[in-house]
Amino acid sequence: MRLKSVESLVPGDVLGQPVYGKSGQVLLQVDVALTSSYIRRLRQYGCTYVFVRDPRTEDVELQQSMSSELRQEIVRKIHRTLDRFANGIERRSLLREGELGATFRDLFNMLFQNVLKNQVVLTNLTSMYSSDTFLYSHCMNVALYAGAVAIGYGYSEAKVRDLGVGAMLHDIGKLAIDRKILDKPGALTEDEKRQVEMHCQLGYDMLTQQPNISRTSAHCALQHHEKFDGTGYPRGLVGEEIHEVGRILAVADVYDALTSNRAYRKAFLPHEAVEVLYGESNAHFDPKFVQLFVKHVNVYPPGTPVTLNQNLSGIVVDINTDQLMRPVVRILQESNRDVTPYDIDLSKHLNFVISRCDDHASVSFVG
């Protein structure tokens, strides 16, 4: 199995992983043989890349952080709850009865028990989602990424749960913002920027009304757009003035936004998003949480096409959990010529480095 850009798909390619839609439902199932019609639909869905079967890497399976059934169930429940919350009458009921907090505490508990409790190395979570599911899958993904960082940082289970609930609800204030502004493909006007920036305070105000949502959870909504150098919003806090959960959320939020398919741009590949995180350390992000993120989120999942120095190209086939940036690579080409496949463990052969990660199909993944 290998990653392949949607633009380079050809009829007859066979899906190695399913493609998910807005409510977490499967749009195209694993092992579907793609036709020209299916490929057009994938483009319409806003998908950037998918996993396909490849006889040279038929033994490679994507190491899922969670089952597709659990993923579908959680995204579906998030979708249903947030749609209710977007309705003014339903919103008042959810807040008054404490149902919003109870629902999301239950949802994060499912993530904690089934994923985070036993596994703190996550694979990239977004590539198989179409662009119209961003709002719902983003809630789940950010909670998992932030939870993995918090566990790595030594948070107690109770603190991880508070962070996780806040992470799932960090963008709740956006439901009070005009969708046309949020989805606008071009530059926002100054007035539109001010409206969007209000979502942090709006979300905080909503969450502090909930008797079963902690103040720590509410600070996830309030401070996830603060920047380490003081240039963020809503308060322009600097360094450790920013609540710790806000500094963790900033990293998880930006990474997931970059690697998600969006209606107005293509997804970044995971390693490209990590380059952004490193580039913005000490400016946007607290560098210690960037380092922890890279230790616990695998940006080179099996199936990823890579180019090494010395003109070698191949596919990632396995990870090294203690050195995620140095996986095992199956070499398929030398100097652009096919060779009998062989594996190189980059953790043991330090003279080899990944110089590029792409589809070998002249397609840019950064839009």
For residue 129, give the CATH number of its domain: 1.10.3210.10
Say if CB 151 and CB 249 are below 8 A apart.
no
Flag the least confident range among 118-127, 206-215, 278-287, 354-363: 354-363
Whether pLDDT at 27 is above 90: no
Residue 309 lies inside a defined structural domain of this protein: no
Alpha-helical runs (H) found in the chain: 36-45, 68-86, 88-96, 99-111, 134-153, 157-168, 179-182, 190-197, 199-207, 215-223, 244-259, 270-279, 287-296
Between vectors from CA 270 to CA 32 and to CA 66, what angle results, nearest 5°? 55
pLDDT of residue 59: 87
205 Cβ neighbours under 8 A, 6+ residues apart: 173
Q: Rounded to whole angstroms, how far apart are CA atoms 194 and 201? A: 12
pLDDT of residue 361: 32
Domain interval for residue 226: 68-298
Say if CB 26 and CB 54 are below 8 A apart.
no
pLDDT of residue 360: 41
pLDDT of residue 209: 87
Nearest to 36 by CA among 53, 4, 12, 60: 12
* Distance from the first to the final alpha carbon of the chain: 25
pLDDT of residue 307: 93
Provide the pLDDT confidence category of residue 121 given band limits of 50, 70 and 90.
low
Phi, psi of 282 (to 5 degrees): 75, -10
Residue 162 lies inside a defined structural domain of this protein: yes
- Please give the tally of structural domains in the chain: 1
Q: What is the CA radius of gyration of the chain?
A: 21
pLDDT of residue 237: 98
Whether pLDDT at 129 is above 80: no
Whether pLDDT at 159 is above 70: yes
Residue 327 lies inside a defined structural domain of this protein: no
Whether pLDDT at 222 is above 60: yes
Nearest to 1 by CA among 366, 13, 37, 69: 13
Provide the pLDDT confidence category of residue 337 given band limits of 50, 70 and 90.
very high
Residue 23 lies inside a defined structural domain of this protein: no
pLDDT of residue 367: 23
pLDDT of residue 243: 97
pLDDT of residue 42: 87
Say if CB 256 and CB 144 are below 8 A apart.
no
Please state the rounded mean pLDDT for residues 285-296: 95
Measure CA 41 to chain center: 22
pLDDT of residue 120: 59
Please state the rounded mean pLDDT for residues 60-85: 83
Whether pLDDT at 71 is above 70: yes
Say if CB 342 and CB 331 are below 8 A apart.
yes
Q: Rounded to whole angstroms, how far apart are CA atoms 324 and 96? A: 45
Whether pLDDT at 287 is above 90: yes
Please state the rounded mean pLDDT for residues 116-145: 73
Residue 266 lies inside a defined structural domain of this protein: yes
Please state the rounded mean pLDDT for residues 70-81: 89
Provide the pLDDT confidence category of residue 174 given band limits of 50, 70 and 90.
very high
pLDDT of residue 276: 95
Residue type, 185: P
Residue 30 lies inside a defined structural domain of this protein: no
pLDDT of residue 326: 94
Nearest to 151 by CA among 142, 141, 138, 161: 161
Say if CB 112 and CB 164 are below 8 A apart.
yes
Residue 75 lies inside a defined structural domain of this protein: yes
Say if CB 266 and CB 365 are below 8 A apart.
yes
Provide the pLDDT confidence category of residue 63 given band limits of 50, 70 and 90.
low
Residue 360 lies inside a defined structural domain of this protein: no
Say if CB 345 and CB 328 are below 8 A apart.
yes
Please state the rounded mean pLDDT for residues 210-236: 96
% residues pLDDT > 70 (the chain): 90
96 Cβ neighbours under 8 A, 6+ residues apart: none
pLDDT of residue 128: 52
Please state the rounded mean pLDDT for residues 203-217: 93
Provide the pLDDT confidence category of residue 259 given band limits of 50, 70 and 90.
confident
Whether pLDDT at 363 is above 60: no
Q: Rounded to whole angstroms, how far apart are CA atoms 317 and 1? A: 9
332 Cβ neighbours under 8 A, 6+ residues apart: 56, 313, 314, 315, 338, 339, 341
More confident residue, 168 or 58: 168
Average pLDDT, the chain: 87
More confident residue, 37 or 22: 37
